[in-house]
């Protein structure tokens, strides 16, 4: 592992943050960032860092203080405020206590913050306070965990790193670990590094660079020691050439992934007991690279990989064990994947998930006494499913959590496979400790759950669209015609509600610009998917791409449509057929593909067709548009009849006179507007005013209003299907009858 430290960059951090936060905290911020930039050291809130310094209080007195990384903060992007300051003198006095439970510890940490609006400090705050170094750095380095997570791990660490590193057997993180660390340092005061079994490594020093360089040096030493053992005579090959050269190391059939992932996603959705929203949906992220597939295909892989995570910090995302499923037609990943479709794989997946859920519920009952007050048991379906020959599916309540689970799983696979190649048995924590750490209130707080969650969120700025209260968190929507004004407005509103959005339209600059605009405001939550609604293969592939990306689809909004202005006597069949292909055939193809995906997924779904007031109140010279949209509307009504048994609700939104959304003008009005302006002797502003004045409410109808109607149906606020909701300000002739 190479050092990323740059004195020039460090000086830049001091220049940027030093005046407001002080040089010490500026350097700690830099050290945290360079550690966080290395995934083999820390991932997604793992590890923590601190600095002991002086802080001037309101009386002008300089008092000892410690700034410690906040619980769950990501070191890769941390700012100085991500290290809340605490009264160091008080924390050191806690060393005298014989014991301290989590609730009392969090209360003491919160009440001795230097700023009341600071986030809650790390679970390891007292460890940092009790250690002697000015700068203290802690990581969950993969290479260190590869040494400790094996039989005789303590001896292995000493062999690899030398006697100058203190080795501590596993101790439950928190106050107990802080006491054990302090005692170990008092017994052996010379070293500046300590390895914690099943947990990671900590280094310290008088200077930030000193502590950082020691971390890199020791991790590198661990990497080199492990690599030498793997290359030694008698070591096993983690992925034998005979396996790596076959399906075990080759990407799976994309069409098979698109078919299986919605089934998996549906099986991993927990039941809620709410008839309107019967499932707590998950987002699915897949690992299907060659290294993953080769690891799954290795001899002995099931025993090695179906094991506890590298460190207890991973438990809240991965659960204690993954689910291993061998599908018919994919034994050990060596046979042709297409055989799976004819081998009853759905039943096999269903039975495997059911067994896992039963085992997990039994596990919870076995240790229920360890669940703290205010913490609820997690849903029983697995978070990680390993399927040899296909890949690893990682689930989370939203895409951010699913990505974290996927990244943690990838690192677990790498370390466990390396041990397998070395010929060493992987060893994890015992089951009772796994349970205690999985349900520990301080860990659950990182997910926004339990009694400590409120405190952990203190000082948070702005609204998170993926917050647990977001109405469409974990949902996936596909919108056609997303590059238009109404489509863009719908995308934006759904994103605000926590939904993942696949914005689809014809490929080109219009779609690209919408995705770029939305992606800048909602990073990671929107994907652009080129799709031609008139082409069955394009529609099928568009849906398949979304299923491979996020696991499935919950909401489909058929919005694509085109218009033409022409009296019937002058309307050419070519022009009419162009509208018929988009407005009717396109709607039919999208409805049909949505039905197929929803049925595979098995968790219901919603379709909201963007119709038009012209279905009920057509206009002169607008026959092609009115009739084809009426046909699309009727198709949606039929779909509401056919899909209700699958808990798929199909509703229609009927807008009128939506001229644009922000700077994006409506394509329909670009077609219709000139004719209407000529007929009434109006300019564009006058035409908009005319349409506003003709409705009962004298309301200007916007794309956001249409999007709100879509959100109403998507959030299932009433038990409604087959309904039409006008969004037109009140047009008596267009009222659905």
DSSP conformation letters of 364-411: HHHTGGGSPTT-PPPPSS-SEEEETTTEEEEEESSHHHHHHHHHHHHH
Domain boundary among 191, 208, 231: 231
Q: Do 601 and 703 lie in a common domain? A: yes
Mean local confidence (pLDDT), 514-523: 97
245-265 per-residue burial string, b: 16 or more CB within 10 A, e: under 16: ebbbbbebbeebbbbbbbbbb
**Position 387 pLDDT exceeds 80:** yes
Which pLDDT value is given to residue 681? Answer: 75
- Calpha distance 674→670 (Å, rounded): 7
Q: Which of 230-244, 430-444, 467-481 has the lowest mean pLDDT?
A: 230-244
Q: How confident is the model at residue 204 (pLDDT cuts 50, 70, 90)?
A: very high
8 A C-beta contact, residue 292 and residue 391: yes
Give a yes or no: residue 737 inside a domain: no
Which pLDDT value is given to residue 10? Answer: 98
Give a yes or no: residue 567 inside a domain: yes
Q: Do 676 and 546 lie in a common domain? A: yes
Mean local confidence (pLDDT), 375-401: 95
Domain boundary among 423, 456, 489: 456
Q: Do 421 and 482 lie in a common domain? A: no
- Calpha distance 113→67 (Å, rounded): 10
Q: Do 372 and 283 lie in a common domain? A: yes
Distances (CA, A) of 14 to 8, 22, 24, 25, 712: 10, 8, 8, 9, 50
Give a yes or no: residue 461 inside a domain: no
Q: How confident is the model at residue 120 (pLDDT cuts 50, 70, 90)?
A: very high
Give a yes or no: residue 300 inside a domain: yes
- Calpha distance 426→156 (Å, rounded): 13
- Calpha distance 404→414 (Å, rounded): 16
8 A C-beta contact, residue 373 and residue 362: no
Q: Do 519 and 483 lie in a common domain? A: yes
Give a yes or no: residue 611 inside a domain: yes
- Calpha distance 349→602 (Å, rounded): 13
8 A C-beta contact, residue 662 and residue 708: no
- Calpha distance 260→540 (Å, rounded): 15
**180 lies in which domain range?**
7-231
Mean pLDDT of the chain: 91
CATH code of 120's domain: 3.40.225.10
Q: Do 70 and 200 lie in a common domain? A: yes
Q: Do 226 and 246 lie in a common domain? A: no
Give a yes or no: residue 435 inside a domain: yes
The one-character DSSP state at 478 is E
- Calpha distance 501→496 (Å, rounded): 10
Domain boundary among 428, 456, 484: 456
Q: Do 227 and 260 lie in a common domain? A: no
Q: Do 40 and 175 lie in a common domain? A: yes
Q: Count helices and strands (H / E) in the chain.
A: 28, 22
Which position has the token pair 């022009």?
Answer: 575
- Calpha distance 566→158 (Å, rounded): 85
Q: How confident is the model at residue 337 (pLDDT cuts 50, 70, 90)?
A: very low
State whether the Cα torsion 57-59-61-63 is positive or negative. Answer: negative
pTM of the predicted model as reported, rounded to 2 decimal places: 0.91
**Position 673 pLDDT exceeds 80:** no
Look at the chain and report how many structural domains it folds into. Answer: 3
8 A C-beta contact, residue 611 and residue 562: no
Q: Do 395 and 427 lie in a common domain? A: yes
Give a yes or no: residue 733 inside a domain: no
Q: Do 353 and 260 lie in a common domain? A: yes
Which pLDDT value is given to residue 665? Answer: 66
Q: Do 295 and 208 lie in a common domain? A: no
Give a yes or no: residue 22 inside a domain: yes
């Amino acid at each position: 592992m190479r050092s990323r430290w740059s004195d020039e960059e460090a000086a830049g951090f001091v220049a940027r943050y030093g005046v407001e936060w002080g040089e010490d905290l500026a350097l700690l911020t830099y050290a945290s960032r360079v550690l966080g930039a290395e995934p083999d050291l820390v991932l997604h809130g793992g590890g923590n860092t601190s600095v002991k310094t002086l802080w001037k209080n309101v009386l002008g007195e300089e008092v000892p203080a410690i700034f410690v990384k906040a619980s769950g903060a990501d070191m890769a992007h941390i700012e100085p405020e991500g290290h809340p300051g605490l009264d160091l003198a008080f924390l050191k006095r806690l060393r005298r206590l014989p014991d301290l439970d989590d609730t009392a510890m969090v209360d003491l940490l919160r009440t001795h913050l230097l700023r009341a609006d600071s986030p809650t400090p790390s679970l390891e705050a007292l460890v940092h306070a009790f250690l002697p170094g000015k700068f203290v750095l802690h990581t969950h380095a993969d290479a260190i965990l590869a040494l400790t997570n094996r039989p005789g791990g303590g001896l292995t660490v000493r062999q690899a790193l030398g006697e100058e590193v203190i080795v501590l057997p596993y101790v439950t993180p928190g106050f107990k670990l802080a006491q054990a660390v302090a005692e170990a340092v008092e017994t052996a005061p010379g070293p500046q590094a300590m390895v914690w079994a099943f947990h990671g490594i900590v280094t310290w020093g008088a200077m930030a660079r000193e502590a950082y360089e020691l971390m890199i040096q020791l991790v590198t030493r661990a990497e080199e020691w492990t690599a030498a053992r793997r290359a030694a005579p008698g070591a096993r090959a983690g992925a034998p050439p005979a396996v790596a050269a076959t399906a075990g190391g080759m990407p799976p059939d994309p069409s098979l992934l698109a078919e299986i992932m919605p089934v998996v996603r549906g099986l991993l959705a927990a039941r809620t007991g709410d008839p309107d929203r019967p499932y707590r949906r998950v987002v699915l992220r897949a690992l299907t690279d060659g290294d993953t597939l080769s690891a799954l295909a290795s001899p002995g892989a099931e025993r090695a990989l179906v094991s506890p995570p590298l460190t207890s910090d991973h438990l809240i995302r991965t659960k204690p064990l993954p689910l291993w499923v061998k599908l018919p037609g994919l034994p050990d990943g060596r046979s042709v994947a297409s055989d799976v479709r004819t081998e009853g794989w759905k039943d096999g997946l269903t039975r495997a998930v059911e067994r896992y859920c039963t085992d997990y519920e039994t596990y919870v009952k076995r240790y229920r006494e360890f669940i703290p007050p205010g913490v609820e048991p997690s849903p029983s379906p697995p978070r990680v499913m390993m399927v040899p020959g296909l890949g690893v599916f990682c689930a989370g309540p939203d895409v951010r959590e699913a990505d974290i689970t996927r990244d943690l799983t990838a690192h677990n696979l790498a370390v466990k496979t390396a041990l397998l190649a070395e010929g060493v048995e992987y060893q994890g924590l015992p089951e009772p400790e796994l349970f205690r750490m999985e349900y520990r209130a301080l860990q659950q707080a990182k997910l926004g759950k339990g009694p400590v969650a409120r405190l952990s969120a203190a000082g948070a700025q702005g609204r998170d669209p993926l917050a647990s209260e977001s109405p469409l968190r974990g949902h996936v929507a596909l919108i056609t015609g997303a590059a238009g004004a109404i489509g863009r407005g719908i995308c934006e509103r759904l994103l605000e509600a926590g939904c993942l959005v696949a914005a689809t339209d014809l490929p080109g600059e219009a779609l690209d610009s919408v995705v770029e605009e939305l992606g800048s405001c909602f990073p990671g939550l929107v994907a652009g998917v080129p799709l031609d609604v008139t082409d069955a293969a394009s529609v099928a592939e568009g849906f398949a791409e979304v299923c491979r990306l996020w696991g499935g689809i919950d909401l489909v909004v058929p919005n694509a449509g085109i218009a033409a202005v022409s009296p019937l006597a002058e309307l050419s069949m070519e022009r009419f057929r162009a509208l018929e292909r988009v407005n009717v055939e396109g709607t039919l193809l999208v409805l049909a593909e949505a039905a197929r995906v929803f049925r595979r997924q098995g968790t219901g779904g919603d379709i909201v067709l963007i119709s038009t007031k012209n279905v009920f109140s057509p206009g002169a010279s607008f026959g092609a548009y009115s009739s084809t949209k009426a046909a699309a509307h009727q198709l949606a009504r039929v779909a509401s009849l056919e899909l209700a048994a699958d808990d798929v609700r199909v509703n229609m939104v009927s807008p009128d006179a939506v001229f644009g959304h922000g700077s994006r003008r409506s394509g329909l009005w670009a077609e219709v507007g000139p004719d209407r302006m000529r007929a009434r002797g109006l300019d564009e502003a006058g035409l908009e005013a005319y349409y506003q004045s003709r409705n009962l409410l004298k309301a200007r109808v916007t794309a956001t209003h249409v999007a709100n109607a879509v959100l109403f149906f998507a959030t299932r606020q009433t038990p409604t299907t087959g309904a039409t909701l006008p969004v037109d300000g009140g047009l008596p002739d267009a009222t659905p009858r």
